[in-house]
Amino acid sequence: MKRKLLGMFAVSAIAGAMGSAFAQDAAPTLTAAEKEAAKKIYFERCAGCHGVLRKGATGKNLEPHWTKTDKAGAKTEGGTLKLGQARLEKIIAYGTDGGMVNFDDILTKEEIALMSKYIQNTPDVPPEYSFKETMDSWKVIIPVKDRPTKQMNKFNLKNMFSVTLRDTGEVALIDGDTKDIRSIVKTGYAVHISRLSKSGRYVYVIGRDGRLSLIDLWMEKPAVVAELKIGFDARSVDTSKFKGYDDKYAIAGSYWPPQYVIMDGDTLKPLKVVSTRGMTVDGEYHPEPRVASIVSSEIKPEWVVNIKETGQILLVDYSDIKNLKTTTIESAKFLHDGGWDASKRYFLVAANASNKIAAVDTKLGKLAALIDTAKIPHPGRGANFMHPKFGPVWATGHLGADVVTLISTPSDKKEHAKYKEYNWKVVQEMKHVPGNLFVKTHPKSKHFWADAPQNPDKDLAESVAVWNMSDLSKPVKVINVAKDSGLPPTKATKRAVHPEYSADGKEVWISLWGGKTDQSAIVVYDDATLAVKKVITDPKMITPTGKFNVYNTQHDIY
């Protein structure tokens, strides 16, 4: 298959295969140029939630049997309303209360009409990506022997932030003390997360084009020292953190093809590729079970690998890579993201389309609980704190519901025994708004922060809510971050997204995610007073989204 560059991103190997075979019976026709444009937009904006094959997960199924009407009428055999051109255009333009963002300020009217036509046509199956192709993509830019043996800069690395510049395919390394941009590093397109090695020296960033970049923070000017393309679309990466395996291995998960790659931690040399295709928890085969999120245990040499479409959670033992042992835990579809509880024994992950949170006991290697929640939980990593009534809790927000859910988590501390009766129960739902992506607090903070960037209301999408731990019945303040930034107002929504604490818990950084041609910013708040401390703007600060404080990310503080 011929593989072209889509704009500045090498993504058309996957996008080029999407939709090359179209159903012609009642499906809108597209020119070759329209198909190419639609494939690029779908990859960049839609595939993450709806899937390459459009079978749905966090987002709805977008196969033609739902999206296009036919000569017999607009309803399926079961009576469900099909969509069709006019309704699709409205949904794409204005979003939904279920968490789909409005695209009327992201796409033009012509692009919205084009995408409505495109998803009424039949998707094709993209190509596979072999171990040989993975190995051929491997680049060591600076060999280990030529790297520093000690930190060569004077930066406070503990308070460095790795900031995703989504639409430029870059990461900005920003000094948390001075607020200066120390380095802008070319990485993959739309970096999803940054993760730290156990030592805190290396930053691993994974882009949506499957490109994994390894950044060495010890260099005089931190830069990429190795790269690997693990697939055509990806979201997750982590390293080996069990004692004795510090920085030895890394693992990255692919959306397409559905597989994960194990590699050397300091060079990214691929060692093993493992497919995740298989049966769902309902007993049906799924052709696209994507690797949604990965975390690393510190009590065993294991990774927790969450498979979105199948609802299977894998505990991958990396103590013997050649003879890989995997424990498969059944939970619920469709697994997405999650984080550790305060004890770091239990991992909680959203099965968001099933409206559940699955909790894994990594010490015993089995499912601890499956908890029903409000619609479409989306925790990011979640947030841990001591509730004044219910003790240790872990929190998740929701894309599709107007609450933040608090779940009681177990504790071995004697003083917490009185809270045992609440464990794995939803103990409180804090009033919020739909469209939340991330919640955050810090052990040294009295506040709890939640964004709402996916809410279709412009003011809500540009704001964050803050609660005081002493009274979680309602937010103590709703902050319009866009207004606080001092940037000129625009028609396009500047989405306030991803609160992230400084290492000492005294500051909260929030991204203003605007359009490519709009000035974006990071607004830094004093956590104690909720007042603006600094607005970080720069011509190079284009579409900032996720921000990952080195110390907090290294130690799973959230």
- Of the residues 336, 398, 432, 498, only one is catalytic, namely 336
Residue 25: is it exposed, middle or buried by C-beta count within 10 angstroms (0-12/13-18/19+)? exposed
Sheet containing strand 346-351, edge to edge, reads: 335-340, 346-351, 356-361, 366-372
387 catalytic per annotation? no
Q: Which residue has the tokens 């510190």?
A: 298
Handedness of CA 286, 287, 292, 293 (dihedral sign): positive
| Dist. CA 274–CA 61, nearest whole Å | 26
49 catalytic per annotation? yes
Strands 233-239 and 249-256: antiparallel
- Of the residues 18, 49, 115, 263, only one is catalytic, namely 49
Structure tokens at 326: 């995997």
* Maximum distance among all Cα pairs of the chain, rounded to whole angstroms: 71
- Of the residues 378, 398, 447, 498, only one is catalytic, namely 378
- Of the residues 50, 398, 447, 498, only one is catalytic, namely 50
378 catalytic per annotation? yes
Element housing 254 (H / E):
strand 249-256
- Of the residues 18, 100, 115, 160, only one is catalytic, namely 100
| Dist. CA 451–CA 161, nearest whole Å | 19
Instruction: Please state whether 557 falls in left (phi above 0), alpha (psi between -120 and 50) or beta.
Output: beta
Amino acid at 489: P
- Of the residues 46, 263, 430, 541, only one is catalytic, namely 46
The alpha-helical segments, DSSP class H, found in 129-234 are 131-137
Task: Answer for the pair 411, 346: CB distance below 8 angstroms, yes or no.
Answer: no
The 3-state secondary structure of 262-309, one letter per residue: EEECCCCCEEEEEECCEECCCCCEECCCCEEEEEECCCCCEEEEEECC
100 catalytic per annotation? yes
| Dist. CA 79–CA 525, nearest whole Å | 51
Picking from 216, 215, 202, 196, the residue whose alpha carbon sits closest to that of residue 152 is: 216
Q: Which residues are catalytic?
A: 46, 49-50, 100, 336, 378
